[in-house]
Structure 1
Amino acid sequence: MRIEPAVLRLGDRTVAEYVWCPELPAAAAPRPYLHPVRTMAGTVVTALKPTSHLHHLGASIAVADIDGHNFWGSRTFVEGHGPAWLNNHGTQEHVRWAQRTPSRLRHSLRWLSIDREQLLTERRTWSARPVDAGVWALTCEFDLTNSTARTLRIQSPAAVGRAGAGFGGFFWRAPSGPGECRVAATSGDSTDAIHGSRSPWLAVSAPAGEQSWWTLVFIAASPQTRDDRWFLRTRDYIGVGSALSWESPLMLPPDATLRRRIVVAVADGLLPPDRAAALAAELAT
């Protein structure tokens, strides 16, 4: 039986739908996700299961490798070999709601290996608030706690030899528009300058049609999150992530907790970099 998504609303507008109990194949690393996310004018700014990447699920928390278990989906990058299909996909399961209101969704989850070992417990919050007539802010906060008796190794494919593949953590798959997208951050205004950099914010704008654009401003809204690097891909598809690890694994001892906070300004139109920077300064706190 299909379970209806939880929704985030601002006034009479549904700005996001949260699929908290998804029906997905094991190879997708089943997990809750936000889709569709919409601007105030109704433009959809997430993409779900595109043909080339069926494991990309709107906005979600996804990690390529936790102690050898794949919570990202699709193939696993194996050092010295490359991408390989392994029987190692994990699942994120909803446990209980702590809060469920039109503007705030807070729940607990457990991260299970394919053999049902509980690796992590999580508290996750999605919240929405208006900014102005054409902008609203989505906040994602998550705490991951090691629930095993051993130190967990959390790593990206970059940590085992896939150059530049520092993905894993908060990840947003955006729709590709009919033309070139534009990017900006304090580290530069090109994908090469931003990918792998640390910046307080990162803006991506893309055309939604011949005469309309959307802009997403991703804001690292805590000291720990600002220390993470940005994953940015604009060739072939638009994907943005705040990476928990890059070349080196993140080692999480037993009972230890990692916390991250990302705010996304969801805007209609093509925002200039100075406006993105101002939004980042306003929303970071």
Structure 2
Amino acid sequence: MTDSHLLHCAGRPVARYLLRPELPAGHAPRPYFHPVRTLAGTPVTEELPADHPHHLGVGVAVPDVEGQNFWGGRTFVRDQGPTELDNHGEQRHTGFPLRDEDGFVAELRWTAGGRPLLRERRTVAAAELSGSAWALDFTFCLTNTTDGPLSIGSPQTNGRPGAAYGGFFWRAPKEPEPPRVFTAAAEGEDRVHGSRADWLALGGAGWTLVFAGATEGTRRDPWFVRAADYPGVGSSLASDGRLPLAAGETLVRRVVTVVADGAVSRPDAAELARKAVAL
């Protein structure tokens, strides 16, 4: 089996999915997308950046699954702060039940210290929205495969306010100027971070990403947003408190991301998000 899969949209390669990346020590190995490009070829992801070497393009990363770190880097410990621990888990790709040029279904196993914790089914599709925009439709289903309850946490639930990251995460390229961040009702990192907006846009030099939470029947997770320090957007599975997962229980999340060339206005971002979610 090859170690990567090239995703196409409108006849063009737009993203490479890395199945078994070779990573330095201190990482939580996992499959991820990098590079992801606009239809014009502009890269909109970054991997192993100097500011946060454990950031890996687009994927699913969780800093605390029953105390095990599937994010990489240090673990935030209550009353102690970021701490180097030997607790990095691994997301292992186990197969493609379905694989086409414009999408796939992947099976993964989440293990820590050799102990299986979660089974994941990841469903991904690429679709053209216009001559300058396409959508990455990303759904992940996590099932507790242990014989007891598990819980998902974040640095925020462990005592660090404003750091409820964990879940879907997109690391964008760092540029000389911070990206513009906005929703239908708010502008700027401070106002957008932690909101439960239907969609959120991140705009850089010659590109715009519009993220839409689209999970049916589930309360929308808050958005985790960074712009000034580094450009990144993700969902917050564990924000107000730890997220419990009973034995055999499955959680499902879907995030659809519009990848557009150029700057996108607020009305156009709303329309692109609407079209993407309706795919």
Q: How many angstroms does 1:183 deviate by?
A: 1.2
Mark the CA change 1:11 to 1:223 in structure 2 (over 3 Å): closer, same or farther: closer
Would you say the 8 A contact 2:182–2:201 is kept in 1? yes
Correspondence for 2:232 among 209, 229, 239: 239
Matched ranges for 1:1-285 at <5 A:
3-113=2-112, 115-207=113-205, 213-223=206-216, 227-285=220-278
Mark the CA change 1:156 to 1:162 in structure 2 (over 3 Å): closer, same or farther: same
- Distance (whole Å) between structure 2 residues aligned to residue 158 and residue 187 of structure 1: 25
Q: How many angstroms does 1:180 deviate by?
A: 3.5
Per the alignment, in what secondary structure is the counterpart of residue 28 of structure 1? coil
- Distance (whole Å) between structure 1 residues aligned to residue 126 and residue 235 of structure 2: 19
Identity, % of aligned pairs? 47
Q: How many angstroms does 1:26 deviate by?
A: 4.7
Would you say the 8 A contact 1:220–1:226 is kept in 2? no
Mark the CA change 1:166 to 1:220 in structure 2 (over 3 Å): closer, same or farther: same
Q: How many angstroms does 1:4 deviate by?
A: 3.7
- Distance (whole Å) between structure 2 residues aligned to residue 105 and residue 223 of structure 1: 20
Per-residue Cα deviation, 1:72-118 (whole angstroms, up to 9, x for no partner):
000000001000000000000011111111001211000000x2100
Gaps of 5+ in 2: none
Q: How many angstroms does 1:234 deviate by?
A: 0.5
Using structure 1 for the length normalisation, give the TM-score: 0.94
Using structure 2 for the length normalisation, give the TM-score: 0.96
Per-residue Cα deviation, 1:226-264 (whole angstroms, up to 9, x for no partner):
520000000121010011111300000000000000100
- Distance (whole Å) between structure 2 residues aligned to residue 180 and residue 28 of structure 1: 26
Q: How many angstroms does 1:283 deviate by?
A: 1.8
Per the alignment, in what secondary structure is the counterpart of residue 191 of structure 2? helix
Would you say the 8 A contact 1:225–1:261 is kept in 2? no
Would you say the 8 A contact 2:106–2:122 is kept in 1? yes
Length, aligned pairs only: 278
Per the alignment, in what secondary structure is the counterpart of residue 209 of structure 2? strand
- Distance (whole Å) between structure 2 residues aligned to residue 224 and residue 259 of structure 1: 10
Mark the CA change 1:65 to 1:187 in structure 2 (over 3 Å): closer, same or farther: farther
Kindly provide the amino acid, as one letter, of the partner of residue 100 in structure 1. Answer: R
Per the alignment, in what secondary structure is the counterpart of residue 157 of structure 1? coil
- Distance (whole Å) between structure 1 residues aligned to residue 94 and residue 12 of structure 2: 28
- Distance (whole Å) between structure 1 residues aligned to residue 143 and residue 180 of structure 2: 36
Would you say the 8 A contact 2:10–2:128 is kept in 1? no
Kindly provide the amino acid, as one letter, of the partner of residue 204 in structure 1. Answer: L
Q: How many angstroms does 1:275 deviate by?
A: 0.5
Runs of 4+ aligned residues of structure 1 deviating over 4 Å after TM superposition are: none
Q: How many angstroms does 1:10 deviate by?
A: 1.9
Kindly provide the amino acid, as one letter, of the partner of residue 24 in structure 2. Answer: P
Per the alignment, in what secondary structure is the counterpart of residue 137 of structure 1? strand
Q: How many angstroms does 1:225 deviate by?
A: 5.9
- Distance (whole Å) between structure 2 residues aligned to residue 153 and residue 220 of structure 1: 22
Kindly report the root-mean-square deviation, in angstroms, between the aligned alpha carbons of the 2 structures: 1.4
- Distance (whole Å) between structure 2 residues aligned to residue 281 and residue 226 of structure 1: 18
Equivalent in the alignment of 1:210: none
- Distance (whole Å) between structure 2 residues aligned to residue 158 and residue 59 of structure 1: 22
- Distance (whole Å) between structure 1 residues aligned to residue 196 and residue 23 of structure 2: 33
